[in-house]
Chain A
Amino acid sequence: MASDNEGSKNKSSSLPKLLIPVLGIGGLGVMAVMGIVAAFVFTGWLGQPVPVLGFEQTFDQPINFPHTIHASTKQLDYVPADGLSTMEGLGLDCTFCHRTVTTQANAGVPPVAFCATCHQAIGAADNPELIILRDAANLTNSKGQSAAQIEELLDSGVAAEKLDGPEPVNWKRVHRLPDHVRFVHEPHIRYLTQNPGEIKGTTDGVTEGAAGVCSTCHGNVAAMKQVEQVEPLKMGQCVDCHRDNGAPTDCVACHY
């Protein structure tokens, strides 16, 4: 017996001793990688996107647009760039900007000209986010100088940047569905408006009005400084809700 053990020991010791920790650590490493991949695939296929491993739920936008200021009805818990510390949200309805959500497939991102309707007057001239907006809307140049100011600068012999025409803002999309899914807002908004009982309570407990309806899938956007996806929006969620509410579960209702 002992000699057998000896023998096996001898055999194993015939490998260079250095390799043992290398193999051990390497094996663990492989295991870890496999685990990460498995978790990645698992979360990717089934779960809610997780912020690590490339599943962003939120994006830094070209303009740091705060839904809080525009949509919230509460006092802000932070001091906005050019606001008062006691500023309250404007409480705009979602449909004020997302105008097509009640009639069409997509909610619609407002054109930059629409933002400029208010922001040519509202907001400090040196607010960096608004400078980007006003530049895009062709109200100022990228330094925040208005047409009149540019004229003055040019007259005084100082070279100034010109206005270069209106440009769309390259908003990043947060809520995405795969290309083989056809989601149409209009019937969903209509159904939820007609059946307020089906509206899912959100963190803020908003249960009525457009905000309540939208929050069923989008969460309490009014409380988000930066919009993030809070619901998984996977097919399982869609089908569960459709089944619960007697909506069609025919594949071709969404996939075509």
Chain B
Amino acid sequence: MKLNRREFLALTGKTAAGSVIFAACGLPERELIVQSPVELPEDLVRGEDAWYATSMGDFTNGDGVLVRVMQGRAKKIEGNPDHPVNRGKSTARYDSVLQLLYHPDRISDPMLRYSKAGNLVGISWEQAEARFQEALANANGSLTVVTNPLRGHLGSVATNFAAKYSGKHMAFDPIEQGVLHRAVKSVLGQDQLPTFDIANANTVLSFGADWLGTWGSPAQFGVKYGEFRSQRSRGYLIHAEPRMSLTAAAADLWLAPRPGTEGDLALGIASVIVDEKLVSSDNIAAFNAALPSGLAGYSLAEVAARTDVPTERIEKAARHFAGSPSTDDKSAVAFGGGSAGAHTNGSFILGAIYALNLLVGAVGASGGVTPNPGSAFSDISASATGASFKAWEEELAEWRAGNVETVIIRGTDIVHGMPNSVAIREALDSVPNVIAFGAVLDDTMGYADLVLPELTFLETWGTDIPEPGPGYQVVGIQQPVVGPTISRDESGLISNARGFGDTLLSMAGGSLGSSMERLVADAVSELHDTRQGSVTASSSALFTNGVLQRGGWWDTGEKGTSSSAGKVSTANKNAGYSDTNSLGTGDDFNLVPFQSNSLLDGRLASTPWAQQTPDPISSASWSTWAEINSKQAEDLGIRQGDVLLVRSTSGEIEVLAYPHPGVRPGVIGIPIGQGHEEGGRWAEGRGANVLSILVDQKDSETGALAWAATKVRVQRAGRRVKVPKFEGEVEARPVEPGVPVLVVGPGETAEEAEIANHHEYQGSLFND
């Protein structure tokens, strides 16, 4: 009889955690304080918590985080207040990584598929290593290492490894940034992505890039946005995007141009400024130099017609951007990316957008574009981007032709991320040795011959150079904050995983370095030798401690420079779209995919927190929905929850309709990140993968996938289901009927606004 009061009352669903063995991972001794394993909830003895600083490379663009560790378990991830990129702040993605670390479906041991048609069977690391070596020996030059765009030392290890075996290293990013890098390079003359001094800008003009949600460095930009809004004269934000993203929702002026006409819109704004001479003639000259073909064809009326943005809105945007004559401080900044650059004329669009900075003299100015410096290490690049889609098509043709013997994949789900048109599955089937690393099974591993369990960034060493950085040199240091996840209790958490970097180093026989830890230590001592930066210490050991405690090293003196003598690419000014003629019945829409706020491109789809996070705009979770304009939906007879068949020439997916007023008519917005074949209990078979139906159109300059240039035909499937969403769950309790959130005008007090609202409401009652 084991019933007692605690068990009637506490009933807490055992919060038990098992014992951890720290063998040789070098964790501080204070973590060993409570070593006793715990079997009942009340046994979770509370030790003192330790906060370790590390760098979050794989899920952010280099944010510094603090991880709360108790009894060897990571409990919480928060921003690192010392880190210059995110300055102690978070995004909605941080904590989900904990669930990847402790995922119940985490791969515990290496797995091998003996034949392409067979199942994965567990093997030992010794066997896996032998198989790996065999694959390397067989490769004989025909080896490809595929990763996500890797910054820091891990990237150089992957590149050096590929080089050692005469293979190549290719990065894959489903949301290609190649056009952006190219435009920044060609117009602003910068090798690294610059950052934007949003905090000190009077006006921010952005196109397509959801920089408050998922684009670039959202935590960094979010902090700056907070300052932008708290300055004495509140900044003015203009955002152009066909669908209302987080950034569009935060904007003071939202412009919704036709997809693919963002470049026209930018030049329309420029032509207003030039025509009305709102800026100095020097600036106009600089702008004209970057745009040799001139503004002919971009008059206000022409642009308004092409973009379908009313003239008065374009003029308003132009006047704000050029700065009102009354204020001395005219700082403004323009930037773009995301769906704006994902068109067949992407290079032109982004070039035109970044050229706007020349018009207001924003490059290098306060409140403008802040260039980032090069890398602090001679052998590590400060910039990383995926290979272009064109390069991938060529590469996959080689795979299909049987010219590639061994492929090593890490950190990117190419099966999920590639459009149907490239036939990625057949390509993988033609490669004799597909070796995939990962923590939880993903779609690519479903086609891999050898699956190797990989340690997460919380368990491994590494460095990270944030991109975009804060405008000066930053090196984030990633250290293991928890030991190997092994427990002997009923949780069965045994992940016999190894780091990707360490595995490559050991497979290469030590010629590229003995371990990631060693490489990081060498890098740190290289930083120490500069005698500069945020940590000063007399000895190398003290310096290392300082760097690890702060989560990295930064040198505010080492700033970026720019040589803005570039030109806007004008080779292809008009966007092309895919064809829909052969797609049967339905209505045509421009497909605008967007990164999910919590799942990103699907990297976090396996975690329940990321799945349950309501989308900021639709409040939907656990599913794939499609956003269409509510008026248009009404006309087409589409109601919320209707199952829609979305067809392109590449394929068809089923999504749930979610009409709302924040989408341009004729545009259908679908979140990326769901529709996984594998991915553990929470991701598998959930929703639909919009990336699969993208059509293989490319930016004409860079060969990047034009992922926003697909036209689709949408048809109702005739079924209707409930959209799993938070909206409608609680009753709105408005300030006044019809006023759910109190809004004041500039200079108005809350009380005045409340009175005004009240009068308006009373008026409406009596006038009816």
Which residues of A does B touch, CB under 8 Å?
A: 44-45, 49, 53-55, 99-100, 103-106, 108-113, 165-171, 173, 176-182, 184
Contacts and interface: CB of A to CB of B under 8 A. Distances in A.
Contact of B42 (A49, A55, A177, A184): A177
B722 interface: no
Contact of B48 (A53, A105, A111, A168): A105
Contacts of A110: 35
B165 to A, nearest CB: 35
B12 A106 contact: no
A169 B35 CA distance: 8
Contacts of A170: 19, 36-37
Interface stretch (B3-11, B224-232, B333-341, B512-520): B3-11
B6 A176 contact: yes
Contacts of A181: 42
Contact of B33 (A53, A99, A169): A99
B19 A44 contact: no
Contacts of B20: 168
Main secondary structure of the interface of B (DSSP, over half): loop
A178 B34 contact: no
B36 A113 contact: no
Given A111-B35, A180-B9, A104 B48 contact: yes
Interface string B589-615: 000000000000000000000000000
Contacts of B3: 54
B2 interface: yes
Contact of B4 (A55, A109, A168): A55
B5 A44 contact: yes
The 7 A-B residue pairs whose C-beta atoms are closest, nearest first, are A179-B41, A179-B10, A111-B32, A105-B46, A168-B35, A54-B1, A168-B19
A108 B42 contact: no
B675 to A, nearest CB: 40
Interface in B655-695: none
Contacts of B46: 104-106, 182, 184
A54 B47 CA distance: 29
Contacts of B571: none
B42 to A, nearest CB: 5
Nearest to B71: A106
A168 B21 contact: yes
B196 to A, nearest CB: 42
Given A55-B4, A178-B9, 10 more contacts: A49-B4, A106-B45, A109-B35, A111-B35, A168-B21, A168-B35, A168-B36, A179-B10, A180-B12, A184-B46
Nearest to A181: B42
23 contacts: A45-B5, A54-B3, A100-B47, A103-B48, A104-B46, A104-B47, A106-B45, A106-B46, A108-B33, A109-B45, A166-B23, A167-B21, A168-B20, A169-B35, A169-B36, A170-B36, A173-B36, A173-B38, A176-B6, A178-B6, A178-B9, A179-B12, A179-B42
Contact of B34 (A109, A112, A167): A109
B474 to A, nearest CB: 34
B47 A178 contact: no
A166 B21 contact: yes
B43 interface: yes
B9 A106 contact: no
B563 interface: no
Nearest to B7: A178
A105 B21 CA distance: 22
Given A111-B32, A165-B23, A176 B43 contact: yes
